[in-house]
Structure 1
Amino acid sequence: MRDLIVTLIVFGSLPFIFKRPFYGAVLWIWISVMNPHTQGWGFATTMPFAAIIAGTTILAMLAKPKEVVFPNTGYIWVLIAFTAWMAVTSVFSLGVEEPWTMMKKVVKIMGMTLVVAMLVRTRKEIEMLLWTVVISLGFYGVKGGLFTIRSGGSSRVWGPAGTFIEGNNEVALALVMVVPLILITLPLVANKWGKRAIWVSAGLCVMAAMGSYSRGAALALGAMLGFLWLKSHDKAKLGALLIILAPLALMFMPEQWHSRIDTINNYEQDDSAMGRINAWRMAINLTAEHPLTGGGFEIYNHLIFAQYAPVPEDVHAAHSIYFQVLGEHGYVGLALYLSIYLLVWRNGSWVINHARNIPELEWARRMVSMLQVSLLGFLVGGAFLSLAYFDVPYYVMVILVATRLLVEKTLKERAQQAPAVRVEEAHGVA
């Protein structure tokens, strides 16, 4: 039944994409982030829904070029440069496995990120993208939160199989990211019960993140909540809420959870933590010999670790977005990767500064503040996970940059209208 529902939704939506290509961006994010077909057990699990949606969207864009606008921003150009550089490092790959399978996957993610950026223009479209991400990840957060409460926190929360967020660490970080995104939707819901449902959903996502037993997510959660308080427009209310609920959540979790989280303070005695450090040192040593291109994709194997790791037999994945990019794409790749986030962050700061004290742009200021909180959660938690190519942060950045472009447009229109208003007022006085 689930397979049939997902199939009907996808194929039933294709005609609407030709009518309005933006619907293709929404459907793409839903299918690639939520992966609803993985919740079935039949034919839908192997259907190439993503390829069908992507192909239909691109055809629709070619058929209706007036609805496509290339966002000429630094974020987009650096994203393109980063993708191109990954192709270069793939040519000089050091791994025994061919890198092009992973390169194709990354190109699809970056390419469709560009497609989404070219199709979102209005506030309504920005909010639709936001809702799509919130629903896609919030579904697993609510489900995982209820599971954590029901099990008393004794069982771990895992993500959907065969996806970026399959592991407990990965799904936890995704849920840390989605909490501030959920809170953005509060002003978009008028019904008081709807607002309460949003608060409950955010709380369940926090419980699910804790129920993953992920230590990196615990650090990211703490950083995100702290920054959320700093960015809040009602610090007293949110602060009181956190002071009351945080201890209750910690008290709810069992002793085995606290024991695992406490290993952060004694990482030298934890094999998993030391394995990550070994992988980070491998990336540093490899890049010392290949500073420009790094080792390319597929460097986490016995051959590479035998050459560059302090403990050759302890082969681990990068377990850090920063060391992952450094080891795979060198210092050039790392500089481009960090520049993406720096440029987007500056876009957000620009919106906050220029939208201040303008009532019609208050929505943009609030949205961008929470988007920054979401990205900060990812940047902190990503320090311990190999999620450099996880698509959700790129969609969050697209929403932020689209908001910046819309604010710019609004301010220009206000500036153009101001002289006419002053002339009218002058004539009225005369």
Structure 2
Amino acid sequence: MLRSLYLTLAFFSFIGVGLAAPFALSLGYIWISIFRPQAIAYTILPSIPVSLIMGALAVGWYLLRDRRSPPHFSPVLGMMAAMAAWVTLTTAVFAVAPDSAWEKWDWAFKTIVFSGFMVFVFRSRIQIEALLQVLLFSFAAHFLPVGIKVVLSGGGYGQALGLIGGNSGFGEGATLAAVALMCIPIALFLAKHNRLMPAWPIVRLGYIGMAGLAVMATIGTYQRTGLVGLVVLAITFWVRSRQKLLVGTGLGIGAIVFALSVSSNWAERMSTISEYQSEGSALGRILVWQWTLGFVANNPFGGGFHSYMINEFTSQPTPEYPNGYTVRGKAFHSIYFEALGEHGWIGLGLFLAINIATLLSLQRVIRRTRGSEALAWCRDLAAALQVSLLVLLACGAFIGIAFQPMFWYLFAASGCLSHHVGRAFAPDVAARRQQALGAGVGTRGNAIAARPWRGAAGG
């Protein structure tokens, strides 16, 4: 009961603060969509449409009170709008499992649309940091308990370690591992550039400790996806570092210590990566990917959300299954095949284009802010968001999270940062333009004054 009261108080606190600062209502919606208090509370919140209430208040109060400095049109915003329209079309016209497709459309469409809306709301440094803080702590509520349990007693494959049980969402180990790794660059950024929290050494250590527990949570899930993400995270940190020798040496020593300290069960689980042709879980993924390619060959526009529900295939004989086995309704287990199977080549193209455009936008932020001490935080945040997105893209090759908030909120945060930098440079750009115009007028005026008067010359 105390948990329910606490979460209910937190819900209404977002509303109360949001009446004075409209962007806090959007923070409340983000908290609800990630932390999911209605799924954790025992009473009160489960009976209230918390997501609908907070989302309606966020959009309505923004329109009434907060329509300042809207962002200019950008390719990412345009592609977000196109994706929202396209997934609606594929669900309405091409869905092969309509009832299930509309269920997923209900939350996926809202995730895409609200992510685009976030770019209008979070404009200042404080607002963008508040967005990062809510993202980090909402995700951390799921992986921190896992990291603590792993430190105290170890993890295990298939164990329910987080807040939410089951084998979906954050209750699924691979998704939890991907989210934990995604949050590490954000936590390290806040350890360096945090302004909303007290500037105490213990706060900085807290963020660093959160990153460490994220690594432990990843290891404790015993997920091969987590190992892939850890490798990508280490490589990107090394590439981004200015002291590559020192960082590389540290990573190498850490890898050796890690390899010597992990349990034999964990090592055995990771070793199955090379046995994908016979290991049941990995083989199932390959078979469903093959089915997806065959499906879109005949259905180039995809089959709508949850189109995997109609798949059926039989595996080849393996040592584990001498007679093979038949699989029906196996999920895509990959963001790329999820987007392809559900929304065809256009859907996959849009999803990849949004990711690429976001990475390029962040790289432009890094380039534009190089040499500006006042915008050093923008440069570091752009690098952190790039690393987080690359980790998700690597982990996502083996899990179906293409329309989950972790991707789309990263797109939104990147858009907020890009538009903030654009506003910061706008006065300089305007001044240079005015100066150039003034110089042009002066040059033309001097030329006219120096030009001989034809009438006088002729007379």
TM-score using structure 1 length: 0.90
* Match of residue 314 from structure 1: 327
Q: Which residue of 2 aligns with 1:277?
A: 286
Matched, 1:348 2:332: no
CA distance in 2, matches of 1:232, 1:314: 45
Q: For the residues of structure 1 that align with 2:282 and 2:47, how far apart are their CA atoms?
A: 35
SS of 1:295 mapped into structure 2: coil
Alignment partner, residue 126 of structure 1: 128
The equivalent residue for 1:296 is 304
Instruction: Name 2:448's counterpart in structure 1.
Output: none
- Structure 2's unaligned 5+ residue stretches are 317-323, 439-459
Other structure's SS at 2:163 match? coil
- 1:408 is matched with which residue? 422
Aligned to 2:16: 15
What does residue 4 of structure 2 align with?
Answer: 3
Are 2:22 and 2:62, in contact at CA under 8 Å, matched by a contact in 1? yes
Alpha carbons of 1:270 and 1:41: their partners in 2 closer, same or farther (altered >3 Å)?
A: same
Please tell me the residue identity of whatever aligns with 1:137.
F
**What letter matches 1:57 in structure 2?**
A
1:166 and 2:174 matched? no
Is residue 26–residue 118 contact of structure 2 (8 Å, CA) maintained in 1? yes
- Matches of 1:187 and 1:396, distance apart in 2: 19
1:305 equivalenced with 2:312 (yes/no): yes
Amino acid at match of 2:63: L
> Which one has the largest radius of gyration?
2
- Describe the SS at the equivalent of 1:165: helix
The verdict on how the C-alpha distance between 1:234 and 1:350 changes in structure 2, with shifts beyond 3 A counting, is same
For residues 199-244 of structure 1, what are the alpha-carbon distances to aligned partners after superposition, in whole Å with 9 as ceiling and x for unaligned? 1110110010111111112101211121022123454554444333
CA shift, 1:83, in A, is 1.4
Residues 368-411 of structure 1: per-residue CA shift (max 9 Å, x gap)? 00100000000000000011111122111211121111212222
Are positions 1:181 and 2:186 aligned together?
yes
1:315-357 deviation digits (Å, cap 9, x = unpaired): 3100000001111111111111111101111101111111111
Gap change, CA 1:256 and 1:209, over 3 Å in 2: same
Paired amino acid for 1:296: G
* Corresponding position of 1:211: 220
Residue identity opposite 2:130 in structure 1: M
Distance 1:339 1:246 in 2: 34
Q: CA offset at residue 247 of structure 1?
A: 3.0
Measured in 1, the distance between the counterparts of 2:98 and 2:56 equals 32
Report which stretch shifted further, 330-339 or 410-419.
410-419
Which residue is 2:442 aligned to?
none
Opposite residue 412 of structure 1, the aligned amino acid is A
Partner of 2:446: none
- 1:339 counterpart = 2:353: yes
Partner Cα distance (1:238, 1:200) in 2: 19
> Could you tell me how far apart the structure 1 residues matched to 2:67 and 2:187 are?
32
Distance 1:248 1:121, change over 3 A: same
Partner-residue secondary structure (3-state), 1:339: helix
Give 1:416 deviation, angstroms: 4.2
Structure 1 letter corresponding to 2:188? L
Deviation of 1:16 after TM superposition, in Å, equals 2.7
Name the residue aligned to 1:99.
Answer: 101
Cα 1:320–1:62 change in 2 (3 A) is same
Match of 2:342 in 1: 328
In structure 1, the residue matched to 2:229 is 220
1:34 deviates by 1.9
Whole-Å separation in 2 of the counterparts to 1:184 and 1:410 = 20
The 1:272/1:419 distance shift into structure 2, 3 A limit, reads: closer
Unaligned runs of 5+ in 1: 424-430
Give the structure 2 partner of residue 117 of structure 1. Answer: 119
Cα-Cα RMSD: 2.5
TM-aligned CA distance change 1:294 to 1:69, over 3 Å: same
